[in-house]
Structure 1
Amino acid sequence: GNNVTTEELKFVAKQGAVLNLDSVSALKRLAEVVDPEGFKISFRVNPMVGAGHHDHCITGGVMSKFGIMDNEAVEVYQFAEDLGFTPVGMHSHIGSGILDPEPFKLAIESTIDIAGKVHTEAGIDFEFVDFGGGVGIPYTPEENIVDIDTFAKENIALFKSKLEEHDLGKPTMYLEPGRYLVGDASVLLTRVNSVKQSYRKFLGVDSGFHTLLRPAMYDSYHHIVAANKMDAPNTQEVDIAGNVCESGDLFARDRPMPDVEEGDLLAILNAGAYGFTMSSNYNSRPKASEVLVKDGECFLTRERETFEDLFNKQIIPDYLQ
């Protein structure tokens, strides 16, 4: 994480995990709440490589808020050792939603070059090098899924050759492919509650960007199908609009759809990575339920919120009662 609080540092330290630090500030504060002697840590570095499906998701380069600078890595790792810590890893992450393996190759080269310099000049022996996540999934029907075998073969070969180049031994290569694992595991089901012919034709649904933020926040494409009319041919192009009080609350513009009526059910696909976790109660909307489907059976795993739930944590001062 970045910009973590001291309380968060304390919590993670108690779990026995290797803390991955994003700044010198976090390092100094950690030294105040744990015994640094022999305490294993890692640092996130900025490899000066960035990639991703949207500018907001690019996490490397001069505009990034993440990580320590590549040209200060030796000094920071040495400072950590001087405090008594045992640095054992290096971490980088260049962005999210990447379908091309080439940016990962640049990140591997850059990160291992930084690790090699830290190893040579600060004497750090790395147990692991973590290249974060970012492996994308296809959102549009035209996109192809990442060829994970080719991705692994090319990047592991490069990783090994760079380790040899810098005489770094055999640290473990870490990846964190979150979206790749869960992105297409969920769909958002939303019901059409209005069909409106205005200057454009709108399908109004009982959900909005408070439930699935990506289309409004990133202008992201999510494929949408009429769940109860899967075999019906597309006959029109419509805008699919949410129920939040902003013009940006749209799931799609000019989207081909079959003849859809009020009461029909739409499925918005690939909602698993940043669906519920980014949802909110904006516009006083209760959050949706979550249902697990396995082998044709459905299991309720999270109850739908009620309006009463929105007030559970509120405390009204006496003078307002």
Structure 2
Amino acid sequence: MKTPFVTRDQLEAIAAQYPTPFHIYDEAGIRENARRLRQAFSWNPGYREYFAVKATPTPAILKILKEEGCGCDCSSLAELTMAQRCGVTGENIMFSSNNTPAEEFQMAHQLGAIINLDDLTLVDYLAQSIGTVPETICCRYNPGGVFTLAQTREGFQVMDNPGDAKYGMTRPQIAQAFTRLAELGAKHFGIHAFLASNTLSNDYYPALARILFQLAVELHAETGVHISFINLSGGIGVPYRPDQTPNDIAVIGEGVRRAYEEILVPAGMDDVALYTELGRFMLAPYGHLVTRVTHEKHIYKEYIGVDACACNLMRPAMYGAYHHITVMGKETAPCDHKYDVVGGLCENNDKFAVDRMLPKIDVGDLLVIHDTGAHGHAMGYNYNGKLRSAELLLKTDGSVELIRRAETLEDYFATVVW
């Protein structure tokens, strides 16, 4: 069972000031989770988390994470600008992008960010764009093929297909890139890779670490370059369904430590720092989309209409993703009614739930849609002229702060040339 981090009375008071729909984030939960992550990797002196800004590009959130020692993983000009305005600069920024324009490389270099190159052709393109290559540089690796992990506690296999992904370099290309970058003046090298998304397995990160640690040993032997860090990227998932078991970050950190000591230490590479760039794991459970029931419809199915729509949370419409729903004030009532919970877009996939068993829902009820703290508001859009909702922060003292106001019609028309 999933329990909201706010009560019905709290939400009614909040909604009286900030009308639904809105996204709300739990500051206490975010801080506690960031501290658990740091503790899990505290055995590695150079460890740093680079929060994936794309997951929740909200300055108030970035500032909280900065206070907890996190940097920013950026992939665009806007994200670089946001990090800078939040006081995150220098090597506290990892710039990982693809099909990158020259101006974005230039800004990343001006900020002193660590640049992560996605393709071999970008080596010389970077040098031409900024007039040099930085002394510290990173390259993204794609091993190709299919990545399969041993069976997990949930009884399924984690599988993804790096060979179909547009990201990263082949094994020969990353060796060639390191050699060329060294010729151009680079002195400290990093390796980055991402093999699977939203994994509910404590084994994924250690398995990825072993692949990258072995690659680092081989590349050091082949090219002679100094590999100073390895970025394990993201992929640690969250339990969207109430019957799923969450990952144990302490167990994950210990598994990575064992791989480090078995592979890197014997190779004399015990000075390698480890980086992560988590988004979903850092934020998803600590955000709710709060929406109010506006209509009931009784035709071939039972529909509950709410004032939010896919423009506020795209994942169910885009991926068929499951997000748990709590009917506030009816948390202990029997789930004996089957509903589709829908928004108001002119698209039939604008559904937050399909054939979901829930308590009896009435017009005026508040619904909490769980696990929207990452890839929620961030993926919002304006189809049908829908306006993006406000973002609120439930602070550690129990007060609520507006951290992004809701859009207005004036915002929607602001870029129009009449």
Q: Is the TM-score greater than 0.5?
A: yes
Question: Within the alignment, does 1:312 sit opposite 2:408 as a pair?
Answer: no
Counterpart among 136, 148, 168 of residue 40 in structure 1: 136
Question: Within the alignment, does 1:303 sit opposite 2:399 as a pair?
Answer: no
Give me the whole-angstrom Cα distance separating, in 2, the residues matched to 1:196 and 1:38.
Answer: 60
Contact 1:42 1:89 in 2 (8 A): yes
Shift in Å at residue 39 of structure 1? 2.9
Give me the whole-angstrom Cα distance separating, in 2, the residues matched to 1:307 and 1:228.
Answer: 33
Match of 1:209 in 2: 310
Q: SS at the partner of 2:162?
A: coil
Match of 2:244 in 1: 143
Match of 2:183 in 1: 82
Q: SS at the partner of 1:126?
A: strand
Gaps of 5+ in 1: 317-321
Match of 2:360 in 1: 259
Give me the whole-angstrom Cα distance separating, in 2, the residues matched to 1:214 and 1:191.
Answer: 19
Question: Within the alignment, does 1:71 sit opposite 2:172 as a pair?
Answer: yes
Give me the whole-angstrom Cα distance separating, in 2, the residues matched to 1:165 and 1:113.
Answer: 11
* TM-score of the pair, normalised by structure 1: 0.91
Give me the whole-angstrom Cα distance separating, in 2, the residues matched to 1:180 and 1:207.
Answer: 24
Match of 1:5 in 2: 101
Contact 1:289 1:302 in 2 (8 A): yes
Counterpart among 117, 121, 126 of residue 30 in structure 1: 126
Give me the whole-angstrom Cα distance separating, in 2, the residues matched to 1:184 and 1:240.
Answer: 21
Question: Within the alignment, does 1:163 sit opposite 2:259 as a pair?
Answer: no
1:5–1:134 CA distance, 2 compared to 1 (3 A):
same
**Identity percentage of aligned residues:** 31
Letter aligned with residue 184 of structure 1: P
Contact 2:123 2:177 in 1 (8 A): no
Query: RMSD over aligned Cα, in angstroms?
Result: 2.0
Which deviates the most, 195-204 or 172-181? Answer: 172-181
Counterpart among 107, 122, 126 of residue 223 in structure 2: 122
Contact 1:204 1:241 in 2 (8 A): yes
1:162–1:50 CA distance, 2 compared to 1 (3 A):
same
Shift in Å at residue 87 of structure 1? 4.3
Contact 1:291 1:301 in 2 (8 A): yes
Give me the whole-angstrom Cα distance separating, in 1, the residues matched to 2:148 and 2:197.
Answer: 7
Letter aligned with residue 135 of structure 2: F
Letter aligned with residue 400 of structure 2: C
Q: How does 1:107-256 map to 2 (within 5 A)?
A: 107-256=208-357
Q: SS at the partner of 1:187?
A: strand
Gaps of 5+ in 2: 1-96, 150-157
* TM-score of the pair, normalised by structure 2: 0.71
Contact 1:45 1:90 in 2 (8 A): yes
Give me the whole-angstrom Cα distance separating, in 2, the residues matched to 1:290 and 1:177.
Answer: 21
Which deviates the most, 258-267 or 102-111? Answer: 102-111
Shift in Å at residue 241 of structure 1? 1.0
Shift in Å at residue 164 of structure 1? 3.2
Question: Within the alignment, does 1:269 sit opposite 2:370 as a pair?
Answer: yes
Shift in Å at residue 232 of structure 1? 2.9
Letter aligned with residue 76 of structure 1: A
Counterpart among 110, 113, 117 of residue 14 in structure 1: 110
Shift in Å at residue 266 of structure 1? 0.8
Shift in Å at residue 102 of structure 1? 2.5
Q: SS at the partner of 2:121?
A: helix
Counterpart among 92, 95, 107 of residue 193 in structure 2: 92
Bigger RCO (CA 8 Å, 6+ sep): 2
Shift in Å at residue 180 of structure 1? 1.3
Shift in Å at residue 47 of structure 1? 3.4
1:300–1:51 CA distance, 2 compared to 1 (3 A):
farther
Task: Show CA shifts across 1:170-212 (max 9, x none).
Answer: 2011122221111111100111111111111111111111110
1:151–1:169 CA distance, 2 compared to 1 (3 A):
closer
Give me the whole-angstrom Cα distance separating, in 1, the residues matched to 2:130 and 2:188.
Answer: 15
Give me the whole-angstrom Cα distance separating, in 2, the residues matched to 1:10 and 1:59.
Answer: 33
Contact 2:205 2:236 in 1 (8 A): no
Give me the whole-angstrom Cα distance separating, in 2, the residues matched to 1:156 and 1:241.
Answer: 45
Q: Which of these two proteins has the greater Rg computed from alpha carbons?
A: 1
Shift in Å at residue 38 of structure 1? 5.3
Counterpart among 274, 277, 283 of residue 384 in structure 2: 283
Letter aligned with residue 149 of structure 1: A
